[in-house]
A and B are shown apart, each in its own frame.
Chain A
Amino acid sequence: MSYAIAAYVITVGTLAAYAWMLARERRRLERGDP
Chain B
Amino acid sequence: MSAPTPALVRIARVRHPLGMLLALLVLVWAWFVIDAPIDNRQGVIQKILYVHPPLAYGAYLGFVLTAVGGALYLWKQRAIYDQLAVAGAEVGVVFCTLMMVTGPIWAKGTWGHWWTWDPRLTLTLLLWFVYLAYLLLRSFTEGSERTARFAAVYGVAGTALIPLNYFVIELAGGRSVHPENLARGSLGAGMGWPFAIANVAAFTAFVWLVALRWEVEARRASAAERAG
A-to-B contact residues, CB < 8 Å: 1, 3-4, 6-8, 10-12, 14-15, 18-19, 22-23, 25-26, 29-32
Are A26 and B215 in contact, CB atoms less than 8 angstroms apart?
yes
A-B contacts at CB below 8 angstroms, number = 69
Q: For B81, what are the chain A residues with a Cβ–Cβ distance below 8 Å?
A: none
Q: For A7, what are the chain B residues with a Cβ–Cβ distance below 8 Å?
A: 48, 51-52, 101-102, 105-106
B20 to chain A, nearest CB (A): 14
Q: Does B94 interact with chain A (Cβ within 8 Å)?
A: yes
Q: Report how far A18 CA is from B55 CA in the complex, Å.
A: 15
If over half of A's interface residues share one DSSP class (helix, strand or loop), that class is named, otherwise mixed; here it is helix
Q: Report how far A3 CA is from B216 CA in the complex, Å.
A: 35
Are A18 and B1 in contact, CB atoms less than 8 angstroms apart?
no
Q: Which of B45, B101, B208 contacts A10 (CB 8 A)?
A: B101
Are B45 and A3 in contact, CB atoms less than 8 angstroms apart?
yes
Are B209 and A11 in contact, CB atoms less than 8 angstroms apart?
no
B168 to chain A, nearest CB (A): 23
Which of chain A's residues has its CB closest to B54's CB? A11
Known: A15-B205, A19-B209, A22-B213. A4 touches B219 (CB 8 A): no
Q: Which of A3, A11, A14, A26 contacts B212 (CB 8 A)?
A: A26
Q: Report how far A30 CA is from B216 CA in the complex, Å.
A: 9
Q: For B216, what are the chain A residues with a Cβ–Cβ distance below 8 Å?
A: 22, 25-26, 29
Q: Report how far A32 CA is from B4 CA in the complex, Å.
A: 11
If over half of B's interface residues share one DSSP class (helix, strand or loop), that class is named, otherwise mixed; here it is helix
Are A3 and B219 in contact, CB atoms less than 8 angstroms apart?
no
Are B1 and A32 in contact, CB atoms less than 8 angstroms apart?
yes
Which of chain B's residues has its CB closest to A31's CB? B1
Q: For B55, what are the chain A residues with a Cβ–Cβ distance below 8 Å?
A: 11
Are A4 and B98 in contact, CB atoms less than 8 angstroms apart?
no
Q: Which of B46, B51, B208, B215 contacts A8 (CB 8 A)?
A: B51
Q: Report how far A27 CA is from B28 CA in the complex, Å.
A: 29
B205 to chain A, nearest CB (A): 6
Are B209 and A10 in contact, CB atoms less than 8 angstroms apart?
no
Known: A4-B45, A11-B98. A29 touches B220 (CB 8 A): yes
Q: Which of A4, A14, A26 has the most CB of B within 10 A?
A: A4
